[in-house]
Amino acid sequence: MNLKDIQCCYFIGIGGIGMSAIARYFNSIGIAVHGYDKTETNLTKKLVEEGIDIHYLDDVNRIPKQVDLVVYTPAVPDSLGELQYLRATEIPIKKRAEVLGIISENRKTIAIAGTHGKTTTTTITTHLLRSGGVDCSAFLGGIAQNFGSNFVAGNSDWVVVEADEYDRSFLQLSPNIAGILSMDADHLDIYGDRDSIVETGFRAFAKRLKPGGALWVRNGLEHHFEQAQSFGLDKGQVRSENISVRDGYFTFDYVGMETKMKDLQFALPGRHNVENATLAITVALSLGVKEADIRAALMSFKGIKRRFDMIIRGKDRVYIDDYAHHPTELKAAIAAARQLYPDQELCGIFQPHLYSRTRDFVDGFAEALDGLDIPILMDIYPAREEPIPGVSTQMILDRMQNERKQWLSRAEILAYVTNNPIQVLMTLGAGDIDRLIEPLSDLMQ
Encode pLDDT of 161-205 as tens digits.
999 887 778 999 999 999 999 988 665 666 667 777 888 789 999
pLDDT at 193: 73
Coil, helix or strand for 46? helix
CATH 3.40.1190.10 domain extents, the chain: 107-300
pLDDT at 130: 98
Burial class (CB in 10 A: 0-12, 13-18, 19+), 248: exposed
pLDDT digits (tens, 9 = 90+) for 310-360: 999 888 899 999 999 999 999 999 999 998 898 999 999 999 999 999 999
From residue 405, give the alpha-carbon distance in Å to each of 122, 255, 278, 394, 421.
35, 43, 36, 11, 17
pLDDT at 190: 66
Residues in the chain with pLDDT values less than 50: none
Instruction: Give me the architecture of the 3-95 domain, per CATH.
Output: 3-Layer(aba) Sandwich (3.40)
Tell me if 125 sits within 8 A of 146, measured CB to CB.
Answer: no
> Shortest CA distance to 33 belongs to which of 186, 193, 168, 151?
151
CATH 3.40.50.720 domain extents, the chain: 3-95
- Domain 107-300: which topology? UDP-N-acetylmuramoyl-L-alanine:D-glutamate ligase (3.40.1190)
Coil, helix or strand for 398? helix
Please state the separation of Cα 157 from the chain's center in Å: 24
Instruction: Give me the architecture of the 309-444 domain, per CATH.
Output: Alpha-Beta Complex (3.90)
pLDDT at 199: 80
CATH 3.90.190.20 domain extents, the chain: 309-444
> Shortest CA distance to 349 belongs to which of 326, 377, 327, 380?
377
pTM: 0.88
pLDDT at 191: 65
Q: Hey, which residues does 406 pair with through a beta bridge?
A: 376
